Structure 1
Amino acid sequence: MQRFTGRRVLITGGGSGIGRATVHRILAEGGLVVAADVNAEGLAGTAEQADAEGTAERLTTTVLDVSDEDAVRAGVAAAVQALGGLDVLVNAAGILRSSHTHETSLEFWNLLLRVNLTGTFLMTREALPALLATGSGVVVNFSSTSASFAHPYMAAYAATKGGIQSFTHAIAQEYSKQGLRAVCVAPGSIDSGMTNNPGLPADADFGLLAKLAPALGQGFAGPQTVAGVIAMLASEDGAFVTGTEIRIDGGTHM
């Protein structure tokens, strides 16, 4: 499939996990991509893979902290200039931390809010003028199954993801008459790198976590599983999908 030929896509979190998988999926389908990440080494790995796959000429990488307003303003402007416009924004950047809620510091809470929720807001705000200029822009945000289902020790993380869902619903309505679509993916039971070390408390009750196993019985899925859904949602195949979230969890939360 070449659903993204000539389409211009900015992807945050492009240096690892689902973000990196999405970069390569969009490139494989013909897209022009700017991959942003706070981790320069991760971006170098993304670029190396694109070179091996023969898609490097359509990839630009940029180091960007999505929680830094000035950096986001400059980074989005540079990406739009490099691409000659913007058709799709994928806000994949995010962090996962766990803690007993009664032991959660304000610093811990604010860190997750700043990166996950505020970062999504800043990137979207700065990209909206370019997206709206196309008359058919798409924003794909990252929620999580934790936003709608109980994930112990992840109250702060879940709060950020619930906020992203609500934010996505609101902008989907606000800009619908200007052709913008805004959707969320809500991954769960995905081996994304981030989930390998969620920082669970040393005394975590794993009985509370037992329900997080996928029903399909094949274990956690890889990040490419989510990348494929993002590609569908951001392409013309998803043209009638907006203001909602798509759960991708192998039936964990049926």
Structure 2
Amino acid sequence: MASNTTAVALPRFADKVVIVTGAGSGIGQATARRIAAEGGAVVAVDMNEAGLQKTVDSILEAGGGSARAVVCSVASEESVKALISGVLSTEGRIDSLVNMAGILRSLPTMETSLDLFQQVLNVNLIGTFLCCREALPALLESKGNIVNAASTSAQFGHPYMAAYAASKGGVFALTRTLAWEYLKQGVRVNAVAPGGIMTPMVVAQGESMGGFDMDLFTHLSRPDGVFGAPESVAAVIAMLASNDGAHMTGEIVKVDGGVHN
């Protein structure tokens, strides 16, 4: 069961252009909605065209900021270059890049094919790298910031997630590297590390894991069985991407209900 959270509308993103990848569902969708509610001009990015349209429609219906949808594969260098070029042509600037696009595949390591391992890395790690690399020139101009999607799996040994954990470990390292590399040039780079968040991706994987040794997961879940809501992570992302996070860079912020304390 997801915990209830209430987003408080603040004007922290007025006149700001924010790219949110993975905005078709889950944490990306909640983040796009939160930033728009705070006055941001959101460029919502995903491969899921129907999910993107739902995100944009809900933002326009709620009022506040604005949103438009861009269908893009973050694992494609050509597509990412076109995305950033299009944003600069249409919106004229980029103030924040929120990299939430990702995929999760849970299998015993001995059953994980090279193709599957590479697929996960291509979206979660290479996609994050490509978006960061292409957006950095614009972010240097705006003195903007990046928020990446790491995961508690990068640090705390989640079983059956070799590909996913490896990709998120890469995002962890990439985030810290970029934060130090661009510190003097005024670009902040942080990441969130969600754990136990009820998203469509997590639900889909949970339904496919009935035959696994679930005892291995007992240290990954809260004793009360409560999962966090995507909006809980979106609130942290909004803080990091806004001026409220102005003195934070190179941070990997856990949002896991205290499971990994």
TM over 0.5: yes
- One of 10, 28, 45 as aligned partner of 2:19: 10
- One of 59, 69, 80 as aligned partner of 2:88: 80
Q: Measure how far apart 1:119 and its partner are.
A: 0.2
Q: Measure how far apart 1:201 and its partner are.
A: 4.7
TM-score by length of 1: 0.96
Amino acid at match of 2:111: E
SS at match of 2:247: coil
For 2:139 and 2:104, locate their aligned partners in 1 and report how far apart those are by CA, in whole Å: 28
User: In the alignment, is residue 183 of structure 1 matched against residue 190 of structure 2?
Assistant: yes
- One of 20, 25, 38 as aligned partner of 2:47: 38
Judge conservation of contact 2:60–2:67 (CA < 8 Å) in 1. Answer: no
Q: Measure how far apart 1:202 and its partner are.
A: 4.9
Judge conservation of contact 1:100–1:201 (CA < 8 Å) in 2. Answer: no
Hey, what does 2:116 align to over in structure 1?
108
Could you list the per-position Cα deviations for residues 149-178 of structure 1 after superposition, in whole angstroms to 9, with x for gaps in the alignment? Answer: 011000110000000010011011111110
Hey, what does 2:241 align to over in structure 1?
234
Judge conservation of contact 2:44–2:56 (CA < 8 Å) in 1. Answer: no
For 2:242 and 2:118, locate their aligned partners in 1 and report how far apart those are by CA, in whole Å: 34
For 2:18 and 2:129, locate their aligned partners in 1 and report how far apart those are by CA, in whole Å: 17
Could you list the per-position Cα deviations for residues 13-72 of structure 1 after superposition, in whole angstroms to 9, with x for gaps in the alignment? Answer: 0111100100010001011110010111111111221132124x7111100000011011
For 1:162 and 1:80, locate their aligned partners in 2 and report how far apart those are by CA, in whole Å: 30
Amino acid at match of 2:50: E
Q: Measure how far apart 1:104 and its partner are.
A: 0.8
User: In the alignment, is residue 220 of structure 1 matched against residue 231 of structure 2?
Assistant: no
User: Which blocks of at least 5 consecutive residues in structure 2 are unaligned?
Assistant: 1-9
For 2:48 and 2:114, locate their aligned partners in 1 and report how far apart those are by CA, in whole Å: 25
For 1:209 and 1:131, locate their aligned partners in 2 and report how far apart those are by CA, in whole Å: 39
> How many residues are matched?
251
For 1:178 and 1:154, locate their aligned partners in 2 and report how far apart those are by CA, in whole Å: 36
Could you list the per-position Cα deviations for residues 122-175 of structure 1 after superposition, in whole angstroms to 9, with x for gaps in the alignment? Answer: 0111000000011x2100000000000011000110000000010011011111
1:139-218 correspondence to structure 2 within 5 Å: 139-198=146-205, 200-214=208-222, 217=224
SS at match of 1:94: coil
Hey, what does 1:29 align to over in structure 2?
38
For 1:111 and 1:61, locate their aligned partners in 2 and report how far apart those are by CA, in whole Å: 24
Judge conservation of contact 2:96–2:146 (CA < 8 Å) in 1. Answer: yes
Could you list the per-position Cα deviations for residues 172-208 of structure 1 after superposition, in whole angstroms to 9, with x for gaps in the alignment? Answer: 1111110010001000010021110226555310100
For 1:226 and 1:93, locate their aligned partners in 2 and report how far apart those are by CA, in whole Å: 14
Q: Tell me the C-alpha RMSD between the 2 structures.
A: 1.3
Worse-superposed segment, 69-78 or 198-207: 198-207
Hey, what does 2:135 align to over in structure 1?
127
Amino acid at match of 1:64: C
User: Which blocks of at least 5 consecutive residues in structure 1 are unaligned?
Assistant: none
Amino acid at match of 1:68: S
Amino acid at match of 1:67: A
For 1:191 and 1:80, locate their aligned partners in 2 and report how far apart those are by CA, in whole Å: 34
Q: Measure how far apart 1:224 and its partner are.
A: 0.3
For 2:53 and 2:105, locate their aligned partners in 1 and report how far apart those are by CA, in whole Å: 25
